[in-house]
Amino acid sequence: MADNMKDRATIYGVAKRAGVSLATVSRVINGKNNVTEKTKKQVTDAIKELGYRPSALARGLATNKSTNIGIVIPGTNYVYICNMLSGMTDIAKIYGYQTTLFVTRRSKEDAQKEIEKLISSHVDGAVIFDDELDENEIKYIQNYNIPLVVIGHEMSDERLASITLDYKSTLIDITKDYYERTPDGQINFLDITMAGNMMDDLRDNLLQYTSANGKSVSLIHSEDSYQRLYSDMKVYFETPSHRHGLFICPRDSLACAVINAAIEDGVKIPDEIEVISVVGTKYSYIVRPQVSSLEIDLFEVGSIAMRMLTKLLKGELDQKVFRFKSQFAVRGSTKK
């Protein structure tokens, strides 16, 4: 490579150096086989000497393909999201795509801004996992003909596929089972602010089911912070009447906050209280006592989403809706 690389070499420079036209250079770097070995070598030599790398920007503009796919997520601070992200990036790489992140931070406004960026960014497609966005907004993106895979809503169209995550029915099953074995049981739902639409739906669905069955769920409000919930619960369990029931928590770390606070207040688990985590990750079996949780392999969800998208891009996707149902993993924090 040349020492002086102040200006990046372009296809013109390579053509000139190799003594051929730029069309020939283009053929070589794109692996078209109608080029003589000899001229091919001239070109590759020139490329090496100049340290030439094609500009993805110019290429994208010319081909109307960016080999770039957008990923819309609320953030990268939760383990389950990162597992999913990991699945996506793995598969994207296999198919030769780059991924660019559009982080929405659990705010509707922010989500809409990011969507605008997504549209401008000229990605070849996108995977959306963000429950701030409703179906209308998804369809809005569709106006720009961006192939989409949506996680969390069931929708499909010519260039739109989706994956649903069913925590709802599993949670109802658990509830049913809980009341059967504990007729006088008490269910407590950790109602975390800004937990997202999915959690809100889950809560509402639970409330509806229980009230239809003559039971009542008590909501415990707190914030999405281990520390905060932990100290809240330390106080909570000081009240003797609070030391029983089933506690439903959105995520592992919040379930741990409840469990740790309970234990330190002398509450027996699972004898006095039971705890489950809705979105289980590996930490639910790492901590002690282990946390019973609803599980969906989110790494797999991520990989399948990305695989669906690559097929969608080729127009080869037939099954446009994919459903994941969570499995209840019974562990030490519940009796059954």
Partner DNA sequence: CTGTTAGCGCGTTCAA
Partner DNA sequence: TTGAACGCGCTAACAG
- Residues binding DNA (CB under 7 A): 5, 8, 10-12, 19-24, 26-27, 29-30, 33-36, 38-40, 52-55, 57-59, 61-64
Residue from 21, 30, 77, 107 in contact with a second copy (CB under 8 A): 77
Taking CB under 8 A as the rule, which mask of x and - marks residues 87-126 in contact with a second copy? --xx--x----xxxxxx------------xx-xxxx-x--
Phi, psi dihedral angles at 30 (to 5 degrees): -100, 5
Looking at 70-142, list the stretches that DSSP marks H as alpha helix, in order from N- to C-terminal side.
Answer: 79-94, 108-120, 135-142
**Which DSSP category does 251 fall into?**
E
**Which DSSP category does 223 fall into?**
-
30 contact choice in a second copy, DNA, none (CB below 5 to 8 Å, kind-dependent) = DNA
Does residue 309 contact residue 127 with C-beta atoms inside 8 Å? yes
Q: Note whether 56 binds a second copy by CB under 8 A.
A: yes
Q: Which helix (H) or strand (E) holds 181?
A: helix 168-181
CB of 274 to DNA, least distance (A): 57
Residue 77: strand, helix, or coil: coil
Using DSSP bridges, classify how beta strands 148-151 and 160-166 pair: parallel, antiparallel or unpaired.
parallel
Instruction: In whole angstroms, give the CA distance from residue 307 to residue 198.
Output: 24
Q: How far is CA 107 from CA 64, 110, 113, 118, 178, in A?
A: 31, 5, 10, 16, 35
Instruction: In whole angstroms, give the CA distance from residue 197 to residue 138.
Output: 15
Does residue 160 contact residue 320 with C-beta atoms inside 8 Å? yes
Phi, psi dihedral angles at 238 (to 5 degrees): -70, -25
Residue from 143, 193, 241, 319 in contact with a second copy (CB under 8 A): 143
149 contact choice in a second copy, DNA, none (CB below 5 to 8 Å, kind-dependent) = none
Q: Which of residues 208-247 bind a second copy (CB under 8 A)?
A: 226
Q: Note whether 50 binds a second copy by CB under 8 A.
A: no
CB of 92 to a second copy, least distance (A): 9
143 contact choice in a second copy, DNA, none (CB below 5 to 8 Å, kind-dependent) = a second copy
3 contact choice in a second copy, DNA, none (CB below 5 to 8 Å, kind-dependent) = a second copy
Q: Note whether 79 binds a second copy by CB under 8 A.
A: yes
Q: Note whether 66 binds a second copy by CB under 8 A.
A: yes
Q: Which of residues 262-301 bind a second copy (CB under 8 A)?
A: 263, 282-283, 286-288
Instruction: In whole angstroms, give the CA distance from residue 34 to residue 37.
Output: 9
* Nearer residue to a second copy within complex by CB, 54 or 270: 54
Length of the chain: 336
- The contact set with a second copy (CB under 8 A) reads 1-8, 51, 53-58, 60-61, 63-66, 68, 75-77, 79, 82-83, 85-86, 89-90, 93, 98-103, 116-117, 119-122, 124, 143-146, 226, 253, 256-257, 260, 263, 282-283, 286-288
